[in-house]
Amino acid sequence: MARYFLFFVTITFILIVSNDCLSPIIFIPGSFCSLLEVRINTTLQPSCPQSLDNKWILLWLNLRLFEPSYLSCYHNIFRFNYNSSSNSFENPLGVETRIIVNSINGSFLDGLLWEYIQLDKFLFHFVTKHKYIDGQNMHSVPYDFRRGTNKTLFVFNNDLKELIESTYIRNMNKSVYLISHSTGGSMVLYFLSQQLQTWKNQYINSWISLSGNIAGEVDNIENLVQGFLSPIVSREVIQSWDFFAWRLPEPMIYGSERIIVKTPSRNYTSYDMLDFLHDINAKELSLIYSQVSSILASLPEPNVNTYCFYGVNISTPIGYISKSDRFEDNKLETIRGWGDGEQDDTTNMSCQLWNKTMDKKYKFISKGFHRISHTELVGNDKVLEEIDQIIFS
Per-residue pLDDT tens over the stretch 205-241: 999 999 999 999 999 999 999 998 878 899 999 999 9
Of 125, 106, 123, the residue nearest 115 (C-alpha) = 123
Supply the pLDDT for residue 307: 98
Given a cut of 70, is residue 15 above it in pLDDT?
Answer: no
DSSP 259-290: -SEE-SS-EE-GGGHHHHHHHTT-HHHHHHHH
Which SS3 state, helix, strand or coil, does residue 237 take? helix
* pLDDT class of 18 with cuts at 50, 70, 90: very low
H-state helical runs in the chain: 2-20, 68-78, 119-124, 150-170, 183-193, 197-203, 220-226, 235-238, 243-246, 251-254, 273-279, 283-292, 345-348, 354-357, 381-392
Per-residue pLDDT tens over the stretch 38-49: 999 999 999 999
H-state helical runs in 52-147: 68-78, 119-124
**Dist CA 102 CA 136 (whole Å):** 12
Supply the pLDDT for residue 229: 83
Supply the pLDDT for residue 132: 97
Of 29, 58, 204, 24, the residue nearest 132 (C-alpha) = 24
Per-residue pLDDT tens over the stretch 107-120: 899 899 987 789 99
Q: What are phi and psi of 95, to 5 degrees?
A: -125, 125
335: enclosing H helix or E strand: strand 333-339
Strands 261-262 and 267-268: antiparallel
Region of 144 on the Ramachandran plot (φ > 0 left; ψ -120 to 50 alpha; else beta): beta
Strands 25-28 and 138-140: parallel
21-34+101-392 carries CATH number 3.40.50.1820: yes
Check if the beta carbon of residue 338 is closer than 8 Å to that of residue 312.
Answer: yes
Single-letter amino acid code for the residue at 206: S
Per-residue pLDDT tens over the stretch 165-182: 999 999 999 999 999 999
51-77 mean pLDDT: 95
Which SS3 state, helix, strand or coil, does residue 9 take? helix
Supply the pLDDT for residue 12: 41
Given a cut of 90, is residue 7 above it in pLDDT?
Answer: no
Supply the pLDDT for residue 101: 72
Given a cut of 60, is residue 4 above it in pLDDT?
Answer: no
**Dist CA 104 CA 24 (whole Å):** 12
**Dist CA 269 CA 272 (whole Å):** 5
For the four alpha carbons of 293, 298, 304 and 306, in that order, the dihedral sign comes to positive
**Dist CA 16 CA 10 (whole Å):** 10
**Dist CA 261 CA 226 (whole Å):** 14
Check if the beta carbon of residue 26 is closer than 8 Å to that of residue 178.
Answer: yes
90: enclosing H helix or E strand: strand 88-90
Q: CA angle at residue 168 from 34 to 211, to 5 degrees?
A: 40
Check if the beta carbon of residue 251 is closer than 8 Å to that of residue 257.
Answer: no
Check if the beta carbon of residue 381 is closer than 8 Å to that of residue 389.
Answer: no
Given a cut of 60, is residue 158 above it in pLDDT?
Answer: yes
**Dist CA 86 CA 71 (whole Å):** 29
**Dist CA 264 CA 277 (whole Å):** 17
Supply the pLDDT for residue 13: 40
Of 392, 21, 389, the residue nearest 173 (C-alpha) = 21
Per-residue pLDDT tens over the stretch 237-246: 999 999 999 9
Q: Can you list the pairs that 273-279 forms with residues at least 24 positions away whose Cβ atoms lie under 8 Å?
A: 273/248, 273/249, 276/221, 277/224, 277/245, 279/325, 279/327
Of the listed ranges 13-22, 292-301, 377-386, the one predicted with least confidence:
13-22
* pLDDT class of 8 with cuts at 50, 70, 90: very low
